Amino acid sequence: MKFFAEINIMPLKEILDPQGKAVTSSMKNLDLQEIQHVRIGKHITLEVEAPSETIAKDKVDQACKKLLANPIMESYKFELHLISNAELILSQ
Amino acid sequence: MKFFAEINIMPLKEILDPQGKAVTSSMKNLDLQEIQHVRIGKHITLEVEAPSETIAKDKVDQACKKLLANPIMESYKFELHLISNAELILSQ
């Protein structure tokens, strides 16, 4: 079974996000001062081959812990969905 | 009214994603060879103050077009939700 995962990795709330702060202040110059509290993280998509959803979840979790996210500065969450055969054919 | 927006910005499918490719090959060294087709983009959250959802959507769309996304290389999509007073109090 093939699963598609969408992972969001964000800087922890307690941690300053200088890139987000810079973008927030740039909004004023673009006449978009209604926009505030910009925070910037990563959005990662991937495909994982696994015999069950539980195993697929575990694989994605390992990937986040070992490589994608830095747990000291970032939090992550992800969603998985099964890729149907129809979608596989379409994406080829 | 205050809205919370979650924006995903991804490299276009036609465009090579060298960071994603590098991460995909690193997965093998971590014994996670089941993980493939990693693509890396940005996840941005922000708050926008607007009199209606339509205006809030327009503001976020402008922010994406003018500053956050590069339309030549990236596509974006976003979701908005109204922040209730209860959530505002909790986040203070």
Contact call for B43 and A45, based on CB within 8 A: no
To test the contact with chain B by mutation, choose from A32, A75, A79 the residue with the greatest count of B C-beta atoms within 10 A, namely A32
Q: Would you tell me how many other CB atoms lie within 10 Å of the CB of residue B16?
A: 9
Taking only the tens place, the pLDDT of each residue in B11-70 is 999 999 999 999 999 999 999 999 999 999 999 999 999 999 999 999 999 999 999 999
**Token reading at A77:** 């969450």
All residues of chain B having their beta carbon less than 8 Å from the beta carbon of residue A41 are 42-45
CA distance B13 to chain A (A): 10
Give the domain B2-13+41-91 fold.
Answer: Mth169; Chain: A , (3.30.1280)
CA distance B45 to chain A (A): 5
| Amino acid at residue number B32 | L
Taking only the tens place, the pLDDT of each residue in A1-22 is 999 999 999 999 999 999 999 9
Q: How far is A87 from A74, CA to CA, in rounded Å?
A: 32
Q: How far is A37 from A17, CA to CA, in rounded Å?
A: 10
In the predicted structure, residue B91 carries a pLDDT above the cut 60: no
pLDDT confidence of residue A90:
60
Contact A6, A79 (CB under 8 A): yes
Q: Would you tell me how many other CB atoms lie within 10 Å of the CB of residue A81?
A: 12
The structure's pTM equals 0.89
ipTM: 0.88
Q: How far is B86 from B91, CA to CA, in rounded Å?
A: 9
Which of A32, A45, A59 shows the shortest C-beta gap to B59? A32
How many CB contacts within 8 angstroms connect chain A with chain B? 104
All residues of chain B having their beta carbon less than 8 Å from the beta carbon of residue A26 are 67
Superfamily of the domain at A2-91: Phosphoribosylformylglycinamidine synthase subunit PurS (3.30.1280.10)
* Closest to B49 in 3D by CA, of B82, B85, B89, B9: B82
